[in-house]
Amino acid sequence: MDENSIGYVKPTIVTIKNPLKLLSGRVLSQYNLIYETYGSLNKDRSNAVLICHALSGNHHVAGYYEGEEKPGWWNNMIGPSKPIDTNKLFVVCLNNLGGCHGSTGPISVNPETNKIYGSDFPIITVSDWVTSQKELMNYLDIPFWKFVIGGSLGGMQALQWSFQYPELINNCIAIAAAPKLTAQNIAFNEIARQAIMKDPSWHDGNYLDKGVSPNQGLALARMLGHITYLSDESMREKFGRDLKTPKLNFNYDVEFQIESYLKYQGEKFVTGFDANTYMLMTKSLDYFDPVKDMSQSLINNLQKSKSKFLIISFTSDWRFPPKRSKEIVKLLLDNKRNVSYSEISADGGHDAFLMGNHDYFDIMRSFILESNNGI
C-alpha cells in the first residue's frame, strides 16, 4: 500500500426509486448505483467532489479492497495530501448506470421481467448519467459539488454538469476530453462494436441467456481501443520492435512484444467487463454533442454558471488531442466563463490522464488548492 493511501475502502449500493426518464424516451423505473466515498463531508456540506469515470472505469477510484494488491484506478491522484486531497475534500465516485461493476446495467436483472436485461438495456447518454448522478447527490444530501472532475468520457460528464445543473457545481475539471467525437473517433468505436457483434457468441446481445460471452470480440475491441490510448512514442519506447521469441518464426503466432501486450490486455479485460456495457459506453461517447443539443436554455444555463473551469490536455494524446480541448476552451471563452487551460507535455498518449506527471499533478493541485480556499 502506498504511503498516502486512503487505505481500505468498501463500496455501497443505493437503490434509486425515482423513475429516470432517459433521453431515448425509455424509463428506468428503479435502478441501483454502486459508489464509494473518501474523506468526510464537512459541517456545512461544502467540500464534496464528484469523480466521473471514463469508458472502462468504475466506482473504485482510490484505496484498496481487502485482499487485493491493486488500488483504485486513480489512486495516484486521490488521497491524503494528493492533488485531490481527502484530508480536505469529500470524494464521491460511482459506477455509471449501464456499467457492469454493480450499478444497474445490461448484466442486471430487469425487475419488471425478472430476466437479465442483456441487449434490452436502454442506451444511456452522458446527460442521463448526469441526471442519475444528481439522484445520488440528493441521496447523500450534498447541496452542491465543490468540484466535478473527470478524464476523457469522465471529462464530458463534468462539462455536462456545468450545462445541465450550473447552480450545483463550483468548479469543473475536464481532462483529455473533447466537446464531441470526430468522425475518426466514431469510426474507431464502430469497429469496436462490429468486433463484438461479429463474435459468434454475441447472440444479438443476449449471450448471458445462453451461458456464453462474446469474449473474442470484446478482447479485439479492447485491443483496438488500447492502441488509441497510447501514443506512437510510448509504444516505441515500451516495445519497439522487441521480439517475444528468440527469432522470427515465419508464422502468425505472437512474435513481437506489442502483439503479446495487446493480447494480454484484451484477455485481461474480458474477465471483468461486459460486452453490452462496452457497446453502450461507446454509443454514449458517439452521441455526446452538447453544443449541438444546446437549446437556448442550455446556453443560458452555461452563462448563468458561476463555475470555474480547468481544461487539461496532453501533447501526445491523439484520441482527444489538445486542439479538441481548445475547442472546449473556445466555447467557454465565447460564453465569458472563468476558464484556465493547460497543455501538459507527456508521452503517454490519451492514457496520460491516468499517469503520474509532475506538471499535471502540480496544475491540478494549484487549481484545487486555490479554488478550495473559498470554503
Partner 1 sequence: MAFRKDLLLISSWIKPNTKVLDLGCGNGELLKILKQDKNISGYGIDNDIKNIKLSLKNNVNVLQMDLDKGLNGFELESFDYVVLAQSLQVIKNPKELLNQMLRIGKEVIISFPNMGHWSSRIQLLTCGVMPVTGNLPYAWHDTPNIHLCTIKDFLKFCKDNNFEILEHSITDNNQKTNSLTKMMPNLFGQIATFRIK
Helix, strand, or coil here: 314?
Answer: strand
Distance CA 137, CA 98 (A): 18
**Active-site residue set:** 152, 317, 350
Nearer CB in complex with partner 1: 4/315: 315
Helix, strand, or coil here: 194?
Answer: helix
Size, binding site for partner 1 by CB under 8 A: 25
| Binding span for partner 1 by CB under 8 A among 2-10, 42-50, 201-209, 342-350 | 342-350
β pairing state of 115-116 and 109-110 = antiparallel
Applying CB under 8 A, does 174 fall inside the site for partner 1? no
Binding-residue pattern over the window 272 to 311 for partner 1, x denoting contact by CB under 8 A: ------------------------------------x-x-
Applying CB under 8 A, does 169 fall inside the site for partner 1? no
Applying CB under 8 A, does 340 fall inside the site for partner 1? yes
Among 149, 344, 352, 354, indicate the residue that binds partner 1 (CB under 8 A). Answer: 344
Applying CB under 8 A, does 370 fall inside the site for partner 1? yes
Nearer CB in complex with partner 1: 9/339: 339
Nearer CB in complex with partner 1: 136/363: 363
Distance CA 152, CA 32 (A): 24
The DSSP symbol for 29 reads: S
Using only C-alpha atoms, the chain has a radius of gyration, in whole angstroms, of 20
Nearer CB in complex with partner 1: 131/372: 372
Minimum distance from residue 324 beta carbon to partner 1 (Å):
13
Applying CB under 8 A, does 338 fall inside the site for partner 1? yes
| Binding span for partner 1 by CB under 8 A among 116-124, 154-162, 275-283, 338-346 | 338-346
Nearer CB in complex with partner 1: 207/360: 360
| Binding span for partner 1 by CB under 8 A among 21-29, 34-42, 211-219, 331-339 | 331-339
Distance CA 33, CA 45 (A): 21
Cβ atoms of 8 and 64 within 8 Å: the answer is yes
Burial 79-107 (b: 16+ CB within 10 A, else e): beebbbbbebbbbbbbbbbbbbbbbbbbb
Distance CA 373, CA 44 (A): 15
Nearer CB in complex with partner 1: 234/371: 371
C-alpha cell at 29: 423505473
Instruction: Give every CB contact of residue 322 below 8 A, 6+ residues apart in sequence.
Output: 313, 314, 315, 343
Beta bridge partners of 314: 344
Applying CB under 8 A, does 329 fall inside the site for partner 1? yes
C-alpha 352 chain-centroid distance:
14
Applying CB under 8 A, does 117 fall inside the site for partner 1? no
* Site for partner 1, rule CB under 8 A: 308, 310, 326, 329-330, 333-334, 336, 338-345, 359, 362-363, 366-367, 369-371, 373
